[in-house]
Every structure is written in C-alpha cells, then in structure tokens.
Amino acid sequence: MQKVIIQRLIFLTRQWGFAPLLVAVVFLSQGCASLVIPPMVGPVVKNLNRQSDLELVCDGAPSYLLLFDSLLVSDPDNGQLLLHGAQAYTAYASLMPECGRPERAFVLGEKAKAYGLRLLGTHKTLGGAAQLPFAEFSEALQSVGPGEVEKLFWGGYGWATWIGFSKGAPAAVADLPKVEQLMLRVLVLDETFYHGGAHLFLGIYYGSRPLMLGGRPEVSRGHFEKALALGDRRFLPTVVAYAEYYARQTQDRELFVRLLEEALAFDLAVAPDLTLPNVLAQRRAHKLLAQVDDFF
C-alpha cells in the first residue's frame, strides 16, 4: 500500500507540480518518511531547476517548503531533508525580488541559515558552528573530508543567504569570515562542486568590497575565471556576477558589457537543467546593461 501511495505521489508531482507533495504528510508516518525522500525529492528538485516560468515557481514553491518543514518536525536530524531544505530556502529567498516580494527575502533567508547551520551540525565537529570561536571553527573544518562537500557548500550558502539579505547588520557581517572558511575548505576538497560554486562565492566576496575595505580584485578575478572554466560558461550566475562584482568594481566597462552580452546571448536550451538560475541571471544582466552609463 505504501509503495502504491509513493508511486502515485511521484506521478502527481511530475504532472502537476508542488502541491501534491503535501499529501505525503497525511499518509506518511515518521517511520516511513525516509522511504519517500529519495524517490520524491530528486525529481522535484530537478523539475524546479528546469522551469522558465517564474510566476509558476513563485506561486508553487511554498508548498515544497512546507513539505520540508512538516517532515523535519518528525525527523529533525535527517541530513537529506536538511540539505534539500537549505537548498530550497536559499533559492526561494533569492527569488523574492523577482516574485515582487523583496521584503520576504530576509525572513526566508533566516530559514535558509537555520537549515544550513543544522546541516553543518550533522557533522560531529561543526555543531553550534555559529557560536564557535573563529579559530576553533577553522580547526574543526580540517577534519571534514571529501564525502562532506555537499554539506559544507549548502550549509555555507544557506548561511550566506541570510547574510546577503541582512542589509549590512553587524552581527551578520561578522559571520562572513566563517562562510569564507567553509568555501575555502570546499575548494580543497572538490573545487568542481556545483559548477565551481565555491569559486563563485569567493569571487563575489573578494570583489564586492573596495580596496580600502579589504577588497582583493585580482584574487576575485582569478576565482571568477576558474568558476567560468569549471562551469563551462553554462552557469550564467557566474557570468553576470563577474560583471557586477568585478568589472563594475574595477571600472572595466568593456569587460562588463562583454560579459552581460554573453549572458543574454546564451541559448537556454543548451543547459536545460539550469534553466531557472539562467533565466534569473539573464534578467539581472538585462537590468545591469540598461544601467551601464550610470556605472561608468
């Protein structure tokens, strides 16, 4: 019976989107929640990234988030649920400006951070990561091995999402060096992970600040170039961030325009599994290119 229910839920999810997932909460007890995670979550995550209809995603994603919240109530230490929860809240918080609800981004970012920290805490040395002294945190990271890259990366990105929407709050900015350490550890373990995502983070981190405030533009450029190579120039958030956080900061108009035009010319059909992030990146590129004379 359980197998039939699971198969039906998978079918409904593929055909109709997010809402049928909530039916799982009714049918699945704590004991069988772990059985439904692999067959259901994978197809939904993949389908979400293939969407080009932002309105559909804006309207449908909340049901997906509620599913994770509900399942985690009964299984709070489930690493896979925490991983996908951190991914989902990170993505949805970032979508809020495009969904016309920018005021919701910080609230959702708080949830991304909470799940990200809980995900990190499933590693024995990283419990209470936010409260650990910086030196102790950095030392603890050295015990994290290659099998934990996914955990480090998405835990860090969930944390960084909250920081990014905190509008410069001192408590949030003070956490940035720890996220930097997480991404540096990811580079040591597997720099290719998620289209060179750790390089992308570090490119933004070192490039977004002026020299007098600790910016390191040439280090930033090196990370962006590496991320572009690792992502085969198919992951457009890297292309657009390179323009926004390096070319604009260094007043390189020619590079700025060239990168944004590259992003806008990209055929989304070439990378169907990256449709959603690439659509968002192209929208950002459009806005930035329209402001080129204001920036330079």
Tell me, what DSSP letter sits at residue 244? I
> Is the dihedral angle over the CA atoms 144, 148, 153, 157 positive or is it negative?
negative
Residue 68: the pLDDT is 78
pLDDT exceeds cutoff 80 at 108 = yes
Answer yes or no: is 146 within a domain. Answer: no
Which residue do the tokens 């169907």 mark? 272
Share of the chain above pLDDT 70, in %: 84
Q: Kindly report, residue by residue over 52-95, the tens digit of the pLDDT.
A: 888 888 888 888 888 878 888 888 888 988 998 899 899 999 99
Answer yes or no: is 48 within a domain. Answer: no
Which residue do the tokens 């085969």 mark? 232
Task: Count the residues in the chain.
Answer: 296
Answer yes or no: is 234 within a domain. Answer: yes
Q: Kindly report, residue by residue over 285-294, the tens digit of the pLDDT.
A: 999 999 999 9
Distance CA 263, CA 274 (A): 13
Distance CA 243, CA 207 (A): 10
Structure tokens at 157: 């990105």
As for how many domains the chain has, the answer is 1
Answer yes or no: is 119 within a domain. Answer: no
Q: Can you give the CATH number for the domain in which 293 is found?
A: 1.25.40.920
Q: Kindly report, residue by residue over 242-279, the tens digit of the pLDDT.
A: 999 999 999 999 999 999 999 999 999 999 999 999 99
Q: Looking at residues 95-116, what average pLDDT do you find? A: 94
Answer yes or no: is 46 within a domain. Answer: no
- SS3 state of residue 36: helix
Answer yes or no: is 100 within a domain. Answer: no
Burial of 191-204, coded b for 16+ CB within 10 Å and e otherwise, reads bbbbbbbbbbbbbb
Residue 77: the pLDDT is 87
Answer yes or no: is 138 within a domain. Answer: no
**Which structural domain range is residue 295 located in?**
191-296
Q: Kindly report, residue by residue over 10-46, the tens digit of the pLDDT.
A: 443 444 344 333 333 333 333 444 444 545 555 566 6
Question: What is the pTM assigned to this prediction?
Answer: 0.85
- SS3 state of residue 226: helix
Answer yes or no: is 236 within a domain. Answer: yes
Residue 6: the pLDDT is 40
Instruction: Count the neighbouring beta carbons within 10 Å of the beta carbon of residue 75.
Output: 15
Q: Where are the beta strands (DSSP E) in 23-96?
A: none
